[in-house]
Structure 1
């Protein structure tokens, strides 16, 4: 945990979802001390000088914004409120991204060094809620909400949710998911952080037409303008700046005299047009308007269906509804116990959370500090023999009644997947996140785990290096796959099936650990979360030597999308793991 004066809670209302092209319309900030006591507040509307966007959501009409100050007037106040504090927001990457971009437009930076996402905190706590929307959490904590999507009221609601979450995390002994902000020091050479492009691909650059927004552009060799700045200027113009060359690349930028490279050779072979840096910037300043990507219409089915079956038809097993935390035992013993827990219909837990209903105690588990916390919460403590003596008759009437009540309420029950298990993704689920979490203990030096994804073509390889999504390239070219890092021990891969390029047949979600093995990390908890509910859960235990792992696959089969949980490990590090999927990793 970084040393700081306290927390700064932030909520923004914006003209759209892209921080590069949209603007902040309203901002509310509350600074609190380490104990959650309010020390300072700030709120303002801003005139963005552009279309305010979805007025039906935020109700900020041009008339309301007329006469309001511009965002740059808030910079001095924000410096004072953010300095030496941790930024807190609901979906923190969104609010943080907009603050960073607005500060950049004002030719300055803000003192944001760490952030905490209350969405991630809610997931870590495993509250008994169908989703982690702010309104849902407010209802769970019985916090009145007067004006949703009003920055002032949202930040007030957020403060109350955060205070209660802090208390519960402390009671459970859970570490808070605070992450450092800033550029990674592990970036591969010459990698440009990709920004999903909203414009459809117009194909190759044609000199007679001009450079059209959405054109896929690649840079190679030395440049006069620093490469990251050059990429930003091109992206701001609406061009799709990529790292790897492919058959869809529309333009290669290379200055005269650059050394011959694979990109230059590939451009010659594919007939890709070539211009120098100065020409590219000239064309970008005069870019031709493109066509926005279309969004397919998706038929929405009844929310009653869960993996194709209603709740009352799902098979019931003796421990259905339980969430069991395993304490003690060797790696192999704990792995075996968790596999048996899944067979019995329960969900294994890797942390002591609000959702844990039972503790399974193996040899040595008495020394685990979480046991005392569990006993304070009066959780039943099971022993190893309970795994072998349980039968259908052991199910309590309370558990049966609870499940029947959930079925009668038509609650969508997550599918519990064991390694290798496959399920059809429900037809009405087109956007979801594969969230990966590992033990959130008190280790001062947590293992460096990187969650990654590969968009794979028909031959099981990435079409180009740009379809490798990782910490330095957090989005795929089609914008369908995105990485989110909002916790020190959890990361997620967001997937939009409606945006997946037709040539992509499979999306592989994986992970790699640096300087250790997954035997050191321990079990991984997987949740596949749609906006309103959790689609599926799994717990994966790798063996002791693996440094990389395929966690899950999302693939096409007979016109349907399917999900497979895997847990297939490799002794390779991240670089070799990427090469296995067709990525060209430069040293």
Structure 2
């Protein structure tokens, strides 16, 4: 993921060159969950809204509990299939800068649902093509995977700008930025509001957060061509997915001992709380013949994390397991002195 400053456009853009998207799903992974709603707002440099779009989606499967996404089973059952809304989403997202909170998940769901709809249409068209006579129905054309010119991730941007986030939800980020926003904490009152209202509220807030982050510094952005799905369906960089899928080059020598050199084969986890682009750290890890892992386990040798106080998430669990932490700068320095096991 690259950092960009100022205007996100790289090619001539529409009158409203940005599009904010908020989704609701049945789970956290596109490989196992399904979208049940999507909210879209196109906007310009002044924050003026162009088109507004909201759709409730029926995935044809159990939508899960109401509290997870705000929709009842009856509302989901009355929703549209993703194949019915994909062309509209293509028109709204193509050639615009897409703004989302947590791009691996949101973009992952959009890509997963688009490909699922396209594959179903292709199967149906092949089946129809095997028929004979003049009674064939028209071929289905459901649309394509949307083609934004760039994808800006407000969550990744906040991490690169070193904004403390004990809670990564958008409302908490807004509060950290000084933006007046409703609390992200679930309440009975909020649970009783219609999903289209709460999703639109989040999407409006997303636009405010985008502008505030852009005024403060660089934005974390990437392009669809630089991403692909990991085993959970999350859209991540090729660098990260390649590292996750790479074979282990050497046996794991165990936990890193602070003050000593890293050893080839050690297992490295990169926490979200780093100031550098994680891809830079992952590339350095692989070049030094270390092993990159997304998951923190007792076989982890070292974690890269810049936060040393008020630990949370992976970093907190690493310390509890006795796994040492290195800042991103310390790690890049350490990989220049990686040794073979025998030279430790």
| Structure of greater relative contact order (alpha carbons < 8 Å, 6+ residues apart) | 2
Whether 2:274 is the aligned partner of 1:436: answer yes
Unaligned runs of 5+ in 1: 185-191, 198-240, 247-418, 422-430, 440-446, 456-460, 463-467, 470-475, 482-494, 511-524, 537-551, 582-587
CA apart distance, 1:420: 5.7
More deviation, 4-13/77-86: 4-13
Q: Which of 12, 25, 29 does residue 18 from structure 1 map onto?
A: 29
Pairs within 5 Å for 1:431-470:
433-438=271-276, 449-451=280-282, 468-469=291-292
Q: TM-score, structure 2 length as denominator?
A: 0.61
Give the corresponding residue for 2:107: 96
Structure (1 or 2) with the larger CA radius of gyration: 1
Counterpart Cα distance in 2 of 1:51 and 1:136: 30
CA apart distance, 1:43: 0.4
Unaligned runs of 5+ in 2: 1-7, 119-143, 184-188, 234-243, 250-257, 261-268
Give the corresponding residue for 2:324: 563
Pairs within 5 Å for 1:170-569:
170=215, 172=216, 174-183=217-226, 194-196=230-232, 244=247, 433-438=271-276, 449-451=280-282, 468-469=291-292, 476=293, 481=294, 495=295, 497=296, 500=297, 504-509=298-303, 526-527=306-307, 534-535=311-312, 560-565=321-326, 567-568=330-331, 569=333
Whether 2:170 is the aligned partner of 1:159: answer no
SS at match of 1:47: coil
Counterpart Cα distance in 1 of 2:274 and 2:113: 31
Q: Is the 8 A contact 2:157 2:218 kept in 1?
A: no
More helix as a share of residues: 2
Q: Is the 8 A contact 1:13 1:24 kept in 2?
A: yes
Q: Which of 172, 179, 186 does residue 141 from structure 1 map onto?
A: 179
Q: 1:112–1:580: structure 2 CA closer, same or farther, 3 Å change rule?
A: farther
SS at match of 2:274: strand
Q: Is the 8 A contact 2:41 2:53 kept in 1?
A: yes
Q: Is the 8 A contact 1:137 1:161 kept in 2?
A: no
SS at match of 2:208: helix
Counterpart Cα distance in 2 of 1:53 and 1:454: 39
Give the corresponding residue for 2:252: none
CA apart distance, 1:448: 7.7
Q: 1:433–1:37: structure 2 CA closer, same or farther, 3 Å change rule?
A: same
CA apart distance, 1:506: 2.4
Counterpart Cα distance in 2 of 1:178 and 1:245: 30
Counterpart Cα distance in 1 of 2:213 and 2:225: 29
Counterpart Cα distance in 2 of 1:128 and 1:242: 31
Q: Please, what is the CA RMSD of the aligned residues?
A: 4.4
Counterpart Cα distance in 2 of 1:59 and 1:49: 17
SS at match of 2:282: strand
Give the corresponding residue for 1:231: none
Whether 2:159 is the aligned partner of 1:123: answer yes
Q: 1:528–1:9: structure 2 CA closer, same or farther, 3 Å change rule?
A: farther
Whether 2:64 is the aligned partner of 1:53: answer yes
Q: Is the 8 A contact 1:121 1:165 kept in 2?
A: no
More strand as a share of residues: 1
Q: Is the 8 A contact 1:8 1:31 kept in 2?
A: yes
Counterpart Cα distance in 2 of 1:562 and 1:453: 20
Counterpart Cα distance in 1 of 2:171 and 2:45: 25
